[in-house]
Copies of this chain bind each other. A is one copy, B any other.
Amino acid sequence: MDTQEFNSESGLTHECGIFGAIGNENWPINSEIAQIICIGLQALQHRGQESTGMVVSEGTNDFHVQKGMGLVKHVFTSDSITKLKGKIGIGHNRYSTSAKSEQVNCQPFVVYSMHGALAVAHNGELVNKGALRKQVLGRGVGLSTQSDSELITQALCLIPPDGEVNGPDWPARIRHLMQLAPLSFSLCIMLKDRIYAVRDPYGNRPLCLGKIMATNTDQIDGGGDMEKNSEGWVVSSESCAFLPIMKYFREVLPGEIVEMTKYGVKTIDVVPPPIDKSLAFCIFEYVYFARPNSIFEGQEVYGVRVRCGMQLATEHPVEADMVGSVPESGNAAAFGYSKQSGIPLGELLTKNTYVGRTFIQPSNRLRQINVALKFSPILHNVKGKRIILIDDSIVRGNTVGPIIRLLRRAGAREVHIRVASPPLKYPCFMGINIPTREELIANKLKDTKEFARNVDADSIEYLSVEGLKKAVQKEINPESKIGHCTACLTGEYPGGIPDELSW
């Protein structure tokens, strides 16, 4: 599926990308951590384009906040960065899961509590948010938004009825939150002098740590002891945010509470998932969401996608002259398919840099034009050829038909569609915005034969669930605890199906 698709009506959407940074004693005077956070948030822009926000502090409870609707590069300006003073801060990119996308819901959420100011950036979705909301309201707190982040923030502030956590012991409050709402979140919780980087006990959403390297590139390149030159620490949804001036350190573990201060990073606790439950890292981060150069569980996402393509070639071979991808979402899998099958790899479609708009009144040619404004066939590789077109996934199936039509008009003799993930059939309650059951193409058609007939493909085949798991898990250290959430493919939900299920 084309990664641009989530700008349009037909893709999957994340809720969020989060990023935090804190300078240590090497942090250059007069340099603002906001600059690092801006670089990080831009590299995480694919995880949310609706709004962005940042909170920084100069070490006091007077937090500086800027939030706004739109892309990082539009919301922040050189001027505004200059005003965001401090060497500790967190940021957030958001893609709303609800219809109401208002400024008021922008994260991070900031409150002044009895134990100082508190800011929270959240990626994920609380499966039992209804119950938690009831508890917080019942304690006499008014909630000003519907957002999970405000809910989490106020839950952290509240004194438990039994008074157990009634001091500034934030780790205790975080543990308490994990009991009340174990799924799903990755959090950056910022106080005036520290950030808590937290991943839910199931490890559903990603989170990783990095180091800020010497700000002078020459030093970095000159080799030297980079460790010694480190100027601080960062935490990010994905490691793609790190290069070139930050360096990957490690993932935050499922259930881990990491405290980041100017003295370094420290594990405070690792809370296991509930008994009888296993880890549940979202497998679609590998398939679709993450940037190809991000690292999860010790492996680069690109390599996993190449293995998916190879596995797909094994499961669903076909004779052809050329393998290509829907750029750029299917690139890695197409590389794998070509490698495994020996069929040459080539560009079948070129993607227009400037994605346009159709000004024509809705009609039956609208979608065809929309697709043609985005993709153009390359005659050189298509005309007179039998071709295999690879994509990473298919959600609504709206664009397959128009793409095949483009290829046929350009002279393709045969068009075989291969999808490097299994059919998407079930809703997600853990932070991914999946279309309604009725909109998912996999629920609409009897089988891939009917699908192929409908869109005029010579064949359409998906990767199997087992094949996907194999591709993902093959090179993970067998001694690590692993476990992946495949709920949207299989209907098997890690924490059970939530009561308030309203799909």
Contact = CB atoms under 8 A, between A and B. Distances in A.
A41 to B, nearest CB: 9
Interface stretch (A213-221, A228-236, A262-270, A484-492): A213-221
Contacts of A111: 142-144
Given A71-B354, A369-B245, A112 B292 contact: no
Interface stretch (A193-201, A313-321, A328-336, A427-435): A328-336
Nearest to A138: B114
Contacts of A154: 141-142
Contacts of A221: 405
A350 B137 contact: no
A480 interface: no
Interface in A464-488: none
Interface residues of A, number: 92
A77 B499 CA distance: 41
Nearest to A367: B217
B143 A112 contact: yes
Interface string A115-136: 0001000000000000000000
Given A76-B359, A356-B42, A365-B245, A118 B142 contact: yes
A243 interface: yes
B293 A376 contact: yes
Nearest to A160: B140
Given A291-B376, A293-B377, A3 B353 contact: yes
A111 B39 CA distance: 34
A354 B158 contact: no
Interface stretch (A298-306, A392-400, A445-453): A298-306
Contact of A347 (B103, B332, B369): B332
Given A245-B365, A378-B293, A358 B157 contact: no
A353 B363 CA distance: 29
Interface stretch (A19-27, A43-51, A181-189, A273-281): A43-51
Contact of A217 (B38, B293, B331, B368): B368
A386 to B, nearest CB: 18
Contacts of A81: 359
A244 interface: yes
Taken together, the copies of this chain in the complex come to: 4
A406 interface: yes
Given A103-B103, A373-B42, A380-B306, A365 B216 contact: yes
Interface in A401-452: 405-406, 409
A18 interface: no
A425 B335 CA distance: 37
Interface string A7-28: 0000000000000000000000
B114 A140 contact: yes
Contacts of A302: 347, 350, 378-381
Nearest to A218: B364
Interface of A: 3-4, 34-35, 38-39, 42-43, 45-46, 49, 65, 71-73, 76, 78, 81, 103-104, 109-114, 118, 137-144, 146, 153-154, 156-159, 215-218, 221, 240, 243-245, 291-293, 300, 302-303, 306, 327-328, 331-332, 335, 345-347, 350-354, 356-360, 363-365, 368-369, 372-373, 376-381, 405-406, 409
Given A45-B353, A140-B158, A216-B363, 14 more contacts: A35-B359, A39-B359, A39-B369, A42-B357, A46-B352, A112-B143, A114-B138, A139-B140, A142-B153, A142-B154, A217-B368, A293-B378, A306-B380, A327-B328
6 contacts: A72-B354, A109-B144, A141-B154, A245-B368, A292-B376, A302-B378
